[in-house]
Amino acid sequence: MAAVISADVKLVGLWASPFVIRARLALEISGVGYEFLEETFGKKSELLLKSNPVYKKMPVLIHGGKTICESMIIVQYIDEVWNNSTKPSILPLDPYERALARFWAVFIDDKWTPSLFGIIRARTEEATREAVEGAAAALQILEEGYTKHYDGKAFFGGESVGYVDIALGSSLRWIAVVEEVCNVKLLDETKTPRLLKWAERFLVDDAVKAVIPETDKFVEFSRVVKATLEAAEAAK
């Protein structure tokens, strides 16, 4: 049964943003109904600028008139506010496991995500190669971390999608876009076999399917992004 949309909960963002996807996944997993206020690519609405005057970035969660910013902070907030006994916690209950989850989420944002989108933004072969190498190295570390700490579990969160799964899984469709458009392979059976299997399980999870469209929609959106960036560069 779909969650009832609450007038007290709004999310500001763009559907294709992996950071916005994180917040939407947390809301979906927690069974929270919300109004999605869609942003337009290349523009920033007055609501966004007013709601996040410090970074001026999405997503922004608006709950009871109060704003919460930064994707993983939003995920944690949702877990703390709407956590109940009927659904598994997004963050582990054990203090060490919670710290470990936060560590990997920081690594993903610090090392993995910039490399992935560095591939998309690259305009030269050298820049593309360096970004691919950085992304591959980050994935290898994640593969080793999964093997050491989470091997035998369906997800980083155990038997259900959790904090680290949300942090990394939010970019899976963009991995597919990069692999198709740039003709590279980031997830494969040889170098990242456990992550590859994890990704397959993640993408068929009911909460994930409710939030993340198929790859074709992201590929089409990537063409819009590319055209916009090229036009901006030409204007300079």
Are 103 and 162 found together in one domain? yes
Residue 26 lies in a domain: yes
* pLDDT score for 179: 94
Last residue of a domain, one of 82, 108, 134: 82
Residue 1 pLDDT grade (very low, low, confident, very high; cuts 50, 70, 90): very low
* Mean pLDDT, rounded, of the chain: 93
Are 72 and 100 found together in one domain? no
Residue written as tokens 């089409």? 220
Give the count of domains, the chain.
Answer: 2
CA separation (Å) from 231 to 121, 210, 217? 13, 33, 22
Residue 146 lies in a domain: yes
Residue 36 lies in a domain: yes
CATH number at residue 111: 1.20.1050.10
Number of H helices, E strands in the chain: 11, 4
Q: pLDDT by residue (tens digit) across 75-102?
A: 999 999 998 777 889 999 999 999 999 9
In whole angstroms, what is the distance from residue 106 CA to residue 76 CA? 13
Q: pLDDT by residue (tens digit) across 186-222?
A: 999 999 999 999 999 999 999 999 999 999 999 999 9
Residue 63 pLDDT grade (very low, low, confident, very high; cuts 50, 70, 90): very high
Task: Provide the residue range defining the domain that includes 141.
Answer: 95-224
Are 101 and 210 found together in one domain? yes
Are 77 and 122 found together in one domain? no
Evaluate if residue 161 carries a pLDDT over 90.
yes
**pLDDT above 90: percentage of residues in the chain:** 82
